[in-house]
Amino acid sequence: MAGSATPSRPGAIIEGINVTPLVDIMLVLLVIFIVTAKILVTPAVPLELPKATKTEEIQVIFSVAVPADGPTQVNGRPVSDDADLRAHAAEALAKDPDLRAVIVADGSVPHRKVIATLDALRRAGVVKVAFGTQPEESGR
């Protein structure tokens, strides 16, 4: 018997292994994989969502400009320090709980100043923060 755990003769070498059960298991796993992959690709509940012709959503942005020279500006008005920035941010957040802050920093501003500004916004409770950038020129 090929593949027998106990050879018929003591000291005999096993000459062959029956791989049929291994092939059967691999084919079953392949079929399961194919069926599961098909289910994962198709959505569980197909929906056809309505299209809106006009949206009325207004997004309030809290602009923080960090220039290389001069004080930090909030919505175009200079602020004296981080405590003043936190106060303005907390006031704006009280008016709009979905407030989004945008930090626009000059390229030559030290990293620590930008991080301090970000930290002041976080302490005020503003969690949605983005950084303003300019698109690259196509000639470069």
Domain with 82, as residue range(s), is 61-131
Asked whether residue 13 is assigned to any structural domain, the reply reads: no
Mind listing the pLDDT tens digit for each residue in 127-137?
888 888 776 66
Mean pLDDT of 92-118: 87
Question: What's the CATH number where 107 sits?
Answer: 3.30.420.270
Average pLDDT, the chain: 79
**CA 129 to centroid of chain Cα atoms:** 14
Mean pLDDT of 1-28: 76
Return the pLDDT at 77: 87
Give the number of domains in the chain. 1
Asked whether residue 119 is assigned to any structural domain, the reply reads: yes
Q: Which of 45-49, 62-66, 70-74, 128-132 has the lowest mean pLDDT?
A: 45-49
Give the model's confidence band at 57: pLDDT under 50 very low, under 70 low, under 90 confident, else very high.
Answer: low
Return the pLDDT at 54: 62
pTM: 0.55
Q: Please state, as a whole number, how many other Cβ atoms lie within 10 Å of the Cβ of residue 105.
A: 21
Give the model's confidence band at 1: pLDDT under 50 very low, under 70 low, under 90 confident, else very high.
Answer: very low
Let me know the angle formed at the C-alpha of 30 by 26 and 35, rounded to the nearest 5 degrees.
150
Give the DSSP H/E element, type plus range, for residue 104: strand 100-105
Mind listing the pLDDT tens digit for each residue in 81-94?
888 989 989 999 89
Asked whether residue 37 is assigned to any structural domain, the reply reads: no
